[in-house]
A and B are shown apart, each in its own frame.
Chain A
Amino acid sequence: MGQYTLDNGLRLVTVPASTGQVAAVNLWYGVGSRHEVPGRTGFAHLFEHLMFQGSGNVVKGEHFDVVERLGGEINASTSTDRTNYYETVPEHALDLILWLEADRLSTLREGMTQEVLDNQRDVVKNERRQRYDNQPYGTALERILRLAYPEGHPYHHPTIGSMADLDAADLDYVKSFHKVHYGPDNCVLTVISGLDPEDVLARVKHYFGPIPARESAPEAPDASLSAPLGGPVRDAVTETVPAAGVFAGYRVAPYGTREFDVMHLASAVLGQGQGSRLYRSLVVDRPIAADDGGAAADLLPFRYTDSLLLVNMLSRDGVSGDELEAAMREEIAKLASGITEEELDRARAVLERDHLQSISGPAGLADALGSATQLLGDPELVFTWPERWADITAEEVRSAVERLLVDDNLLIVRFDPETDGEPAGGVPETAAP
């Protein structure tokens, strides 16, 4: 592995690819929806879209055009904590990709117009409709975050933002956002390829070296939590859903801490895989929950504030939301009585398998390296991550569960289907499919 820092602050990580003739490039910028201020929710993500709309020397859509012509893969994503841009291409195209990325980093502001802003705003609003508003349970995450973090907290709102805030985005703000957050000093660039690390470094220096660092780094909004959750807190909604859905959440420690790893194991014991407790108990034995293949629990990782342990199940026909919720909470509570070595071993194996799967291709490996470097300052962690679970004991998991998976720390979002004679607001009463 090669690790370098350019004079302008850009951090570069290089790792050899395990199959030939391919180069994966991944840029993690340290900006996400946690940097958004009230009235500007959804902006970091809308901005990510605008990064494909042209810069000083690149026209609208050209990033996609170039990479698709190469049979490559290209996309980007935004979370609370970062925004990443990535391409996997045949190795001979590495220079062109580096140039494209460097161009939008240094000259995006020159390519930005009101027309592309308006177009991408419409696209993002349709993304919101497709993923949130037109999906059963689609607003669950938004509701969970609203309960989990207080008003004004930078994790109170989802990355997609609100329709009203998206409408308010203007061109000046786009340009200032780029200036404030997009600098080489706020970027980790990862390159997976068959090339010599020094060769990669020379190319990266050539394209990114001349780009100046930001004049100053903005302060991120305060993400500390002054008070415990004060649970159980609850949001109940009746709408057109095919079955009752229960989403339970608990605050746990930030990503990168040992307590996070402990609770990651707890979530696997509870709800990852068909050997997990919730699957055995509520899908197979009783069975009152819909078969999700063993995917009922996981952590929602946040680096700069408490993460969330989330548990989600849907009810079977004829099972009420109340019955399912009671059974889930009972099963969660039982964890505090202790877990077996066998359960812990299975949980470790499941998490290790998922980790290996995620880094088994060049794109996933590059993303994991960018994450470890940007969030935790150490790319080597990617290759040793499963060791973090090795010395965590069953008692350590039990004791963390006893402290954290309690009603005081619980939020519940409940979806219940409309029944006849009880229409939800605004929607005409009709038989729901």
Chain B
Amino acid sequence: MPQTRPDLGAPASYSFPKPQRITVGGGRIVAVDLPGQQLVSLRLVHTRGGAAEPLDAMGVSALTGEVLEDGPEGNSSLAPALERHGAEWMSRVTWDAFITGVDVPVARLNEAVRLFADAVRRPALNADDVVRRRDQLLERFWLEAASASTLAMRSLGGQLFTGRYATPLAGGPVRLADVTPEAVARFHADSLSSVAGTLVIVGDLSGVDLEALGTSVFGDAQAAPAPDTAEPAPPPGELPRVLVVDRPGSVQSALVIAHRAPSRSQVDMPRADGVSEVLGGMFTSRLNMELRERLGYTYGAGSRFDLRRDSGVFLASTQVEADTTAHSITSALEQFAKLRASGVTEEELESVRESNTVGLPVAYSTARAVAGALVDIVVHDLPDDYVDRNRAGYERLTKDDLDSAAVEYLRPDEAVVVVVGDAERLREPLSSIGAGPLEVRSPESLWT
């Protein structure tokens, strides 16, 4: 006989580790000591990302991120050098930041940091390497976009924005070709080598000389402010509307229902994220329960915000069996409407509140995860106790907060429904779903 169900006791109180901050030359260090965590995560954050790129050099950040891997000697020499120290290079370009880093066993930290600093500050940037990496990136665009869900996500920008966001972060399949080795060198000189940035270090830091690490990474580079931002305008076109990106023979359709949202600093995080969690942020969220667990149309469905310094996007996404595409869209939109009209249940409120408060020890159980939170704090200029403040926000959350957030942040009437699938099969069923006018495009026509 099974035992009776145990009561859940009270959770222990949790505080995010308080980071140590020091200034070294023009740069700042934000460090968290996790005793016993032998794998150190180190991240150098520059607060200029893809959004700040000029329109004649779209993709220069992403390309530079790749070219840094060629190292001070050029010819793809950095990664092998780091590999010999058991270190792993990472670089990530977002709309708002340029992040480089290494994950390395603490015993080899100093050697790895020396290589890392040279790689970021003094790369060769050989023209041959830049052209080789650029051509690879251009070809990779279509290799990756051969996956229906990737193509759907990349199609969004041009539907919601004019300006830089209309072209994918890495410059897309066309415009990146205009980025020259000179443009890469200029970007590197102006935005990376001369700008100190902020260094995030997390791991077992007993015996680590942070000051010396800072000197090694920052050199004589100077501090620089984050770029000014202005909210980009939407493109013309009726809303809501449906865009079918043709993928002949597709046995599933990739769907994204997306609309504009306020910027990161304008959004009230616990309320907005909370309502997104109810709609699609968790396995037990409404979209997944309906489309997967009740209808069996999909392997999974979800939603999230993509919030930037100057603007934002809310999106719900899934991949469904081709013949269920139309019903999947109407069912998903019904879930939007229902949440706006009737709000959340007490159960859902409790679930949102609990998952974002008692779960923090799980969320921050690795050095990488703690480093990720600190990078977010640096990029968006948040207070060091942001994680704890956010938790307090969730603890205060009420049903009214989430109900009003559903109306404020879910805007199905302003949505673009992007469907990557077999247009011949979809045109007819999608023309009568009441989600606005329908346009069919080939993938190649989306970026010029």
B444 at the binding interface (Cβ < 8 Å): yes
In the complex, the chain B residue whose C-beta lies closest to that of A289 is B136
Chain A residues near B319: list those with CB within 8 A: 126, 129-130, 134
Evaluate whether A95 and B6 lie within 8 angstroms (CB atoms) in the complex, with A243-B143, A284-B132 already known: yes
Interface residues of B in 132-186 (CB under 8 A from A): 132-133, 136-137, 139-140, 142-143, 145-148, 151
- B250 in contact with A134 (CB, 8 Å): yes
Q: How far is the CA of A356 from the CA of B80 in the complex (A)?
A: 18
A396 at the binding interface (Cβ < 8 Å): no
- A90 in contact with B2 (CB, 8 Å): no
As a 0/1 sequence over residues 342 to 377 of chain B, the CB contacts with chain A under 8 angstroms (1 = contact) are: 000000001100111111111111111100000000
- A433 in contact with B146 (CB, 8 Å): yes
A235 at the binding interface (Cβ < 8 Å): no
In the complex, the chain A residue whose C-beta lies closest to that of B285 is A68
As a 0/1 sequence over residues 112 to 134 of chain B, the CB contacts with chain A under 8 angstroms (1 = contact) are: 00000000000000000000110
As a 0/1 sequence over residues 68 to 88 of chain A, the CB contacts with chain B under 8 angstroms (1 = contact) are: 111111100000000000001
Chain B residues near A135: list those with CB within 8 A: 147
Q: How far is the CA of A89 from the CA of B8 in the complex (A)?
A: 12
Q: How far is the CA of A207 from the CA of B5 in the complex (A)?
A: 10
Chain B residues near A119: list those with CB within 8 A: 293-294, 296
In the complex, the chain B residue whose C-beta lies closest to that of A354 is B88
Q: How far is the CA of A432 from the CA of B246 in the complex (A)?
A: 10
For B146, give its contact among A90, A211, A241, A275 (CB under 8 Å). Answer: A241
- B359 in contact with A70 (CB, 8 Å): yes
B252 at the binding interface (Cβ < 8 Å): yes
B289 at the binding interface (Cβ < 8 Å): yes
- B10 in contact with A92 (CB, 8 Å): yes
As a 0/1 sequence over residues 45 to 85 of chain B, the CB contacts with chain A under 8 angstroms (1 = contact) are: 00000000000000000000000010000011011110111
Chain B residues near A99: list those with CB within 8 A: 2-3, 5-6
Q: How far is the CA of A122 from the CA of B292 in the complex (A)?
A: 9
- A72 in contact with B359 (CB, 8 Å): yes
Chain B residues near A96: list those with CB within 8 A: 5-6, 8
B34 at the binding interface (Cβ < 8 Å): yes
As a 0/1 sequence over residues 226 to 238 of chain B, the CB contacts with chain A under 8 angstroms (1 = contact) are: 0000000000000
Evaluate whether A91 and B249 lie within 8 angstroms (CB atoms) in the complex, with A106-B2, A346-B83 already known: no
- A102 in contact with B79 (CB, 8 Å): no
- A68 in contact with B139 (CB, 8 Å): no
Interface residues of A in 348-403 (CB under 8 A from B): 349-350, 352-353, 356-357, 360-363
In the complex, the chain B residue whose C-beta lies closest to that of A18 is B36
Interface residues of A in 13-32 (CB under 8 A from B): 17-22
In the complex, the chain A residue whose C-beta lies closest to that of B355 is A71
Q: In which size bucket is the chain A interface?
A: 35 or more
Q: How far is the CA of A61 from the CA of B290 in the complex (A)?
A: 12
| Shortest CB distance B54–A (Å) | 26
For A90, give its contact among B84, B85, B139, B359 (CB under 8 Å). Answer: B359
Chain B residues near A57: list those with CB within 8 A: 2, 5
Query: Which residues does B use to contact A, with CB under 8 Å?
Result: 1-3, 5-6, 8-12, 14, 34-39, 69, 75-76, 78-81, 83-88, 103, 105, 132-133, 136-137, 139-140, 142-143, 145-148, 151, 246-252, 282-284, 289, 292-299, 319-321, 350-351, 354-369, 424, 442-444
Query: Which residues does A use to contact B, with CB under 8 Å?
Result: 17-22, 56-57, 60-61, 64-65, 68-74, 88-93, 95-96, 99, 102-103, 106-107, 118-127, 129-131, 133-136, 206-207, 210-211, 240-243, 273-275, 279-280, 283-284, 287, 290-291, 294, 314, 316-317, 342, 345-346, 349-350, 352-353, 356-357, 360-363, 427-428, 430-433
